Structure 1
Amino acid sequence: MTVSPTGIVTFRYDYCLNGRRETLTIGRYGPSGISLAIAREKLIDAKKAVAEGKSPALEKQREKRRLTAAKTFGDVTEKWLAGARVADSTKAMRKSIVDRDILPAFQNRQLNEITADDLRALCNKVKARGAPATAVHIRDIVKQVYAFAILHGEKVGNPAADVGAASIATFVPKGRALSPAEIRLAFQQLDSIAIYPTRGSPQPCCRSEILRTKRNSSAWYWASCSA
């Protein structure tokens, strides 16, 4: 702890790391600074960092640089959209959702200011107006924007990681696929059809059509069993 000629009390921590002396300025004491209890907590954290071979002073400098260079969600989203390698129609759809629904809520916020609750509230708002599919798209877009930011060095969490798509909306398929038992029965019926010797067998084409509309492991399994 040091006291300036004007009476300002500053908490500092002097330490040695890798043969060099360093000083960490923990903060100023007082109503506009930090309390003694907080200073003690920061000192404990700094001592742990030194014990692990890390420089708390350098880490504080890095954090200052990150804060100075902090980008808003709108800035990162613009770069993400510009570099996205997707079809023009997909990019146009994403930009429409970004401009209409996401940026009005998050554009000027720092990345570390947007929480999972904020994202969930936005998705629920869009869902309430009768657009559940758009709400799910919003969650997916925000997730990709944060993944892009993290990939390029931003030290932030991804709020979409705590917002599951199923918690926003679920969709009931309009039809259903054939079950494995139904596929096997269909193949058995095909095998029982009498074919004129002079004509080609339709079974291979029918089998292919069934498998084309049911491309999953169970279909291929029954196909191999009945081949």
Structure 2
Amino acid sequence: MLTDAELRNTRGKSKAYKKTDRDGLYVLVTPTGGIAFRYDYRFDGRRETVTFGSYGPAGLSLGEAREKLREAKRLIAEGVSPALDKQRVKRRLREAQRFEQVAIRWMDHAPMADSTRQMRRSIFNR
């Protein structure tokens, strides 16, 4: 079982390697020293891997990674692939409209006087 101290002291080698934790969770250590939490599982007869994120101050802690593992196992039990679900969420975020697009569409179609529309557009552009 991994510890936080062990992860802090993990260094990259000439090739990427794995260090196992528990319940199927492991970290992949890259040659540059990057540490990513991953989980391999079988879904519909295929082997799939989901990456939860990287370790570090800007990334995940060991406890957060274990919590994400519990969530992934819950999704698998419900018949949802965690890796495909993660891709779906990313795709939705990419396709989501920016605030600017929504505001411009609202200003073009909302019922208001022309002077009010011009004033709001001026404020928005500032």
TM over 0.5: yes
Secondary structure in structure 1 of the residue aligned to 2:112: helix
The structure-2 alpha-carbon separation of the partners of 1:100 and 1:45, relative to structure 1 and needing over 3 Å to count, comes to same
Q: 1:76 to 1:18 in 2, by over 3 A?
A: same
Q: Please state if 1:21 is matched with 2:47.
A: yes
Amino acid at match of 2:89: E
- What are structure 2's unaligned runs of at least 5 residues? 1-26
Q: Which residue of 2 aligns with 1:220?
A: none
**What does the per-residue CA deviation read over 1:200-227, in whole Å, with 9 as the maximum and x for residues that have no partner?**
xxxxxxxxxxxxxxxxxxxxxxxxxxxx
Tell me if structure 2 keeps the 8 A contact 1:81–1:95.
no
The answer as to whether partners of 1:13 and 1:23 remain within 8 angstroms in 2 is yes
Name 1:100's counterpart in structure 2: 120
- Within the alignment, does 1:7 sit opposite 2:33 as a pair? yes
Q: Distance in 2 between matches of 1:5 and 1:72?
A: 37
Match of residue 59, structure 2, among 33, 40, 43 = 33
Q: Displacement of 1:39 after TM fit?
A: 0.7
SS of structure 1 residue aligned to 2:50: strand
Unpaired segments of 5 or more residues in structure 1? 85-89, 108-227
1:54 to partner: Cα distance: 0.6
Percent of aligned pairs sharing the same letter: 49
User: What do residues 186-211 of structure 1 show as CA deviations (whole Å, max 9, x unaligned)?
Assistant: xxxxxxxxxxxxxxxxxxxxxxxxxx
- The offset of 1:24, in angstroms, is 0.4
* Distance in 2 (alpha carbons) for counterparts of 1:40 and 1:80: 43
Deviations along 1:122-170, one digit per CA (max 9) or x if unpaired, are xxxxxxxxxxxxxxxxxxxxxxxxxxxxxxxxxxxxxxxxxxxxxxxxx
CA RMSD of aligned residues (A): 2.9
Please report how far the alpha carbon of residue 40 of structure 1 lies from its aligned counterpart in structure 2 after TM superposition. Answer: 1.0
| 1:71 CA drift (Å) | 2.0
Alignment-derived partner of residue 55 in structure 1: 81
- Residue 56 (structure 1) shift: 1.2
**Counterpart amino acid of 1:10?**
A
**1:16, CA displacement in angstroms?**
1.1
Q: Secondary structure at the match of 1:14?
A: strand
Report which of the two structures shows the higher radius of gyration computed on alpha carbons: 1
